[in-house]
Amino acid sequence: MSQQLKKAGLKVTGPRMKILEIMERETSFDDGVHLSAEDVYKILLAADEEIGLATVYRVLTQFEQAGILKRHNFEGNHSVFEINKGEHHNHLICVKTGKVTEFYDEVITERLKEIAQKHHYDFEDYRLVLYGICHDDEDN
């Protein structure tokens, strides 16, 4: 992890290492977990770490600027973060539970490239977030 920080041009500090460790542990899997600064802060508090909320915000922003994390604003201006895995994916958001499901569909990507070309744009990237109601169990 310290190599990742050095490669990004960031000094290795205790708070950065702790926050990066949390982000890698909690968001590196394909289960759609995204953490807000408040979520990270609560995890730090539960582990008896004395890192302030302002520091958490600052470090997350530095990690985003360095390309270590990706920021998403799924619900208004509420930012959540995930490890930047270097691969494009889209999100399904359950409006009842807040559950996030990640997916990728090559057909969607190809169609968007066609649309961009038709309108004389060079396709670079896109973000797709679908909102709906998940039906994972009887309660939804």
23 and 35 Cβ atoms separated by less than 8 Å: yes
**pLDDT tens, 38-97?**
999 999 999 999 999 999 999 999 999 999 999 988 776 788 999 888 788 888 988 888
Binding positions are 88, 94, 134
Closest CA to 99 of 52, 132, 70: 132
Pairing of strands 100-103, 129-132: unpaired
- For the beta carbon of residue 17, count every other beta carbon within 10 angstroms: 15
Pick the CATH number of 90-132 from 3.30.1490.190, 3.40.190.10, 3.40.50.9100, 3.30.1360.40: 3.30.1490.190
User: Structural domain boundaries of the chain?
Assistant: 2-83, 90-132
Assign domain 2-83 to a CATH class: mainly alpha
Q: Is 90-132 the same fold as 2-83?
A: no
Binding positions for Fe cation are 88
Binding positions for Zn(2+) are 94, 134
Extract the tokens encoding 94: 């359950």
pTM of the model: 0.77
